[in-house]
Amino acid sequence: EVQLVESGGGLVQPGGSLRLSCAASGFTFSSYWMSWVRQSPGRGLEWVANINRDGREKYYVDSVEGRFTISRDNAKNSLSLQMNSLGVEDTAIYYCARDTVGASYYWGQGTLVTVSS
Amino acid sequence: AIRLTQSPTSFSASVGDRVTITCRASQVLTNNVAWYQQKPGKAPKLLIYTASTLNTGVPSRFSGSASGTDFTLTISSLQSEDFATYYCQQYNTYPRTFGQGTKVEVK
């Protein structure tokens, strides 16, 4: 069974940093592109970033480019999102997702990031 | 970035109704469009990809189609478990983008 479990969310002050992790199991992690998608409270979905199978290709939405870094460790079946210079607009539930042919087939349960003073 | 505009943004329907949700893209896409269903407090669930391919395990009452820059999700006979919010997404170009969502509520 495919499982994606996010962790690392919490309360952080504006300007602070946070690192999210996603533990993957039930599939060959190194064979899939992976994504982060976020959802602000009561709002819609926003694609944040994705990464290719070997970690060499990374893409970001403009609003996080230069502040967030997506990475993966295929040996540990783990996906990460390093978030720096956080602003209140980054407050959201962050989902880890496994992509197939571009669409996000499997999603984790999400981890809440709250940016507030 | 490609903008996706869903219509309507919300509506009320009854069990058994035929429901159609439209997603209009700001520019021509290939059929790299997906549809997701999300229920309150839950992660989205992939329903359809490449505009019309049903994901494994998704009931056949769901279908998708494409015509130019318009993409459509149809539920042929709405069931009680289908009351939810639906999102389209394009994965044709970066950044990937989602529509704003369509909430289907009980009439």
- pLDDT higher than 90, residue B54: yes
For A32-57, the pLDDT digits (tens) are 999 999 999 888 899 999 999 999 99
Residue A43's pLDDT is: 85
Q: Under an 8 A CB cutoff, do B91 and A45 touch?
A: no
E strand or H helix that includes residue B46: strand B45-49
Nearest to B87 by CA among A39, A65, A12: A39
Nearest to B95 among A47, A105, A108 (CB): A47
Pairwise CA distance, residues B86 & B63, whole Å: 13
Q: Which residues fall within 8 angstroms of residue B47, CB to CB, at 6 or more apart?
A: B34, B35, B36, B37, B54, B55, B58, B62, B64, B73, B86
> To the nearest whole number, what is the mean pLDDT of chain A?
97
Token pair belonging to B93: 């170009």
Please check whether residue B1 touches A, CB under 8 A.
yes
Exposure of A26 in the CB half-sphere (CA atoms within 13 A): 11
A102 band by pLDDT with thresholds 50, 70 and 90: confident
Instruction: Give the pLDDT band (50/70/90) at residue B71.
Output: very high
Residue B52 has pLDDT above 90, yes or no: yes
Please tell me the distance in Å from B25's CA to the nearest CA on chain A. 16
Name the closest residue on chain A to residue B96, using Cα atoms. A47
Find all residues with CB under 8 Å of B40, minimum gap 6, and list them.
none
Nearest chain B residue (CA) to A104: B46
Mean pLDDT score, B48-62? 96
Two structure tokens written together for B75 = 């539920």
